[in-house]
Amino acid sequence: MLTRKQHELLAFIDQHLRQTGFSPSFEEMKEALNLRSKSGIHRLITALEERGFLKRRAHRARALEVMRLPDNLAPVKPAPAPAPAAGFAPNVIRGNFAPNLSGIARSNDAAAVHLPLYGRIAAGLPIEALRDQGTSIEVPAALLGSGDHYALEVAGDSMVDAGILDGDTVIIRRGDVADNGAIVVALVDEAEVTLKRLRKRGNSIALEAANARYETRIFGPDRVKVQGKLIGLLRRY
């Protein structure tokens, strides 16, 4: 689920691309959404990039490409691309888990347990509101330690420099506190769930991507809630 403004901007960019073959200017986007400044457009584009709806081609002006659309918009028709560039996927994740995982199911192998596994998530709901225990993954018991855990499928490249790649499965220990510098599942404004490195900067909270392509986002302490801490990673080749 996108916010209303994210939805409006994505629809406007897609329509402009279909009609003209190139993306609208920031000024055109600002006027279309009736915003006061271009900085608001920049934040919306960054959020849509991170969720995999848009791709911004480096070192080119007005070079946005719609990668996908929500279900309630028309299917994407590929638009002419200004020039080839390395693509990237969204950095968002689907995070659904049961509130109490103390009764984790044991597999036939005593050295493994089953954790709830969830895939990609769009902004709009905290993970507690998305409970679904239909899918699980087998995880070595020695990886977990104490506490309640859940697994998330990573989508995108925002944490690649921390060794977390698109398609990886991360193991999260549920909790609402984390050390400075820890990689956490964070809930922003009771609406957006994201996997980022947590930094405390005075009275503010910074959520850092591990990829120079993404900006560090700064929030007041009341806007960010820790949902869990990264404690392990699984990868299939």
Judge contact between 167 and 66, C-beta under 8 A.
no
Q: What residues make up the domain containing 143?
A: 93-234
Q: What is the pTM of this model?
A: 0.52
Looking at the domain assignment, is residue 80 inside a domain?
no
Q: Which residue out of 102, 158, 225, 229 is catalytically annotated?
A: 158
Q: Which residue out of 196, 204, 225, 229 is catalytically annotated?
A: 196
For residue 133, what is the domain's CATH number? Answer: 2.10.109.10
Looking at the domain assignment, is residue 192 inside a domain?
yes
List per-residue pLDDT tens for the chain, 237 residues long. 678 888 889 899 888 888 877 788 888 888 899 888 888 888 888 888 888 888 877 555 557 888 888 766 654 444 444 444 444 343 443 444 334 434 444 444 447 788 877 655 433 344 554 445 567 788 888 778 788 888 888 877 888 899 988 888 888 888 988 899 999 988 888 877 888 999 998 889 999 989 888 889 999 989 999 988 998 888 877
Looking at the domain assignment, is residue 110 inside a domain?
yes
Residue 158 annotated to the active site: yes
Looking at the domain assignment, is residue 27 inside a domain?
yes
Residue 200 annotated to the active site: no
List, in sequence order, every beta strand (DSSP E) within the chain. 54-56, 64-66, 93-94, 105-106, 112-118, 136-140, 149-154, 169-174, 183-188, 192-201, 204-208, 217-219, 224-234
Number of domains in the chain: 2
Let me know whether 207 and 138 are in one domain. Answer: yes
